Amino acid sequence: NAGVMQNPRHLVRRRGQEARLRCSPVKGHSHVYWYRQLPEEGLKFMVYLQKENIIDESGMPKERFSAEFPKEGPSILRIQQVVRGDSAAYFCASSPYGTGDDTQYFGPGTRLTVL
Amino acid sequence: AQSVTQLGSHVSVSEGALVLLRCNYSSSVPPYLFWYVQYPNQGLQLLLKYTSAATLVKGINGFEAEFKKSETSFHLTKPSAHMSDAAEYFCAVSEKGNEKLTFGTGTRLTIIP
């Protein structure tokens, strides 16, 4: 079984550009989570989605950030008009639902650098 | 609200010595507790988890952790450190399964040859 896949692994953007981060969950997993890790810090929750529905976005910045998990295709984290403070590692995790397995399985992350 | 405190951002132990990484949590409801390991430039790998069953939890790579409700602790231990254990370790809490994880700030473990 393939694990959580994220692409790109590294992304460089200039200030003001848009960043799109993709996450393909473990096959059969219906729930996706996004976390951000700033340098020398732990992971901070951003958003929790299931197919076509945002469950909890309490950790998302109010502006410039959005996330989706469409019926078909990967989950997308979109950052508009990036600033230097957005430079971080963004991790996606997935979990099954209704199986009794409450583990979140993490992808390798996308490292975003804003110049 | 939940929180996690990891005492010691850096821990160094000699190869073959006991590893002890500390984690204290705060939760208004019975918690689910997790330890994850992160190797450089990689994602997080689950070491072990506590979900209200046995209080002593055994994980991968010889690690184990004990849930102590009276001390609100979930410390990670390994009897004998190996060079390959050098990594960053994160403790995390959630209120129930399939909910957001709240992470500690991490402990970087260095193994001295």
Do B42 and A103 make contact, defined as CB atoms within 8 angstroms?
no
Q: Is A74 on the interface with B (CB under 8 A)?
A: no
Q: Is the dihedral of CA B39, B45, B47, B48 positive or negative?
A: positive
How much is the pLDDT for A115? 95
Closest Cα in chain B, distance from residue A15 (Å): 24
At B30 the three-state DSSP class reads coil
Residue that the structure tokens 């200030």 belong to: A15
Percent residues over pLDDT 90 in chain B: 75
Beta bridge partners of B90: B36
Cα–Cα dist A37/A88, whole Å: 6
Cα–Cα dist B7/B4, whole Å: 10
pLDDT bucket at B42, cuts 50 / 70 / 90:
confident
Give the DSSP H/E element, type plus range, for residue B38: strand B32-38
Local structure of residue B7 (DSSP, 8 states): S
List chain A residues with pLDDT less than 50: none
Q: Is B106 on the interface with A (CB under 8 A)?
A: yes
Give pLDDT tens digits for B79-99.
999 999 999 999 999 887 557
How much is the pLDDT for A99? 64
In one-letter notation, the amino acid at residue A105 is Y
